[in-house]
Structure 1
């Protein structure tokens, strides 16, 4: 469905890794490499303990679990500045990532549970799952557990993939659950040249739907087009609809034959 997927993933690898790494949330089992500018003796490689802390020279135990890489850098800098080093410049890298897993379901070719190697973005996980199916819709829903409760994140796939807005290609976190929605469909039947089911897009009008179906046949009664719409589990028939009227997912557009 989205032809630019591979290209966007390549762009993500080329231009975005540093910013994503800075947003990575540190957890138990991660191995951090910490350097302090002009103080090579303080260079430390440490694994985050089960209590969520590391041991750093001069300042001792530092609680880092739940902080981003950027926040860890700032925290250590503040602690060093408190009586040890003037204006310390601290850099933190993830030397080794802990084992993280996320689930991706819905309209991908190989849904399931995936292990995340390093800092993995949404598009990278979609690629691991075999890419989007042809029936994929415009939205992805990410359910994420946070210290304050569950958070739901919506990703606009059209904006991300077709428009190339990689700013919304967020990092996937341990335990995330991703669902790729199925595109809504509508149906055009009767006196059109290509009666069939078509993918719904917001803002589609009756005349656009008929155009997608190849237009009217010579036998079509263009003034008697109707829509069969589901409402409250019942079918409602809208007679003699306006050609500029917007349609809804699951609508059936019926073009009757002219009596003349």
Structure 2
């Protein structure tokens, strides 16, 4: 990636920081402090920290589940509950007074890899900035891994070239607590999921899925060997190759995902 990326990165962070701080998509969680007020009902005003169970306690209403809800969703929930036999057309206002700390791991081709602590809504570019920016040997993709449904991990591939060179905002994802991000190196492939040593490995001529698995010290006992996917950039667009064979040939910056078998 070119040196100009650092300048573009700084500019993009400034452009989108205001939108981020609006926190439209921010999901409330344990440790956040919420301020709740109801117009013309000062006795219902409260400032409360979300419990470890994801709940708050409000006057009149008692305990409410708010974990993973947006501010708009919490406002609608409180409004609906107050309208149910308590108040006529209540005007509810909710905002986050104090954001909890989020912990994210950033590895690969950034200047200061490691654990990053974040406060408040944070997007991918802001996370890169807090990690010192991209190294000069950074590749074209970043792999974001986060908790999915149940024990499954969700793997998202971010097209760095589309985001930074072309300003594609769809790649500037919101970062969640517990996410891990790996920035690829040029001329390398990344493997994640059910292998013994996930990570980035050389991806030269003749590289195959089997060879990459071997470099990653083999499959774990939970690997679904028949459901391996390759995420690849083709004409600057992400393409997912499903259920590939172990003999499938790899190209630079491919991301190989080995899912867990549930049988």
TM interval, shorter chain, is: 0.5 to 0.7
Aligned to 2:18: 14
Deviations 1:111-169 (A, max 9, x none): 00011122221111110110011121222111111453321222221222122233432
1:120 to 94, 119, 122: 122
Deviation at 1:33, TM superposition (A): 1.0
User: How far apart are residue 71 of structure 1 and its match?
Assistant: 2.1
TM-score normalised by the chain length of structure 1: 0.66
Determine which of 15, 35, 38 is the counterpart of 1:36: 38
Report the structure number with the largest CA radius of gyration.
1
Q: Secondary structure at the match of 2:206?
A: strand
Matches of 2:166 and 2:92, distance apart in 1: 37
Q: What TM-score, normalized to structure 2? A: 0.66
1:47 aligned residue: 49
Secondary structure of the residue that 2:15 maps to in structure 1? helix
Contact preservation (8 Å) 1:12, 1:166:
no
- Secondary structure of the equivalent of 2:184? strand
SS of residue paired to 1:153: strand
The match for 2:224 is none
The number of equivalent residue pairs is 192
CA distance in 2, matches of 1:178, 1:35: 38
SS in 2 for 1:137: strand
- Structure 1 match to 2:177: 174
Corresponding residue for residue 156 of structure 2: 153
Structure-1 residue corresponding to 2:97:
95
Q: Provide the C-alpha distance between the structure 1 equivalents of 2:39 and 2:140, rounded to a whole number of angstroms.
A: 46
Alpha-carbon separation, structure 2, partners of 1:89 and 1:163: 42
Query: Runs of 4 or more off by more than 4 Å in structure 1?
Result: none
CA contact (8 A) 2:20 2:122 kept: no
| 1:129-208 equivalent positions in 2, closer than 5 A | 129-148=131-150, 149-184=152-187
Residue of structure 1 equivalent to 2:108: 106
- Any unmatched runs of 5+ in structure 2? 189-203, 212-250, 254-263
Q: Distance in 2 between matches of 1:146 and 1:183?
A: 28
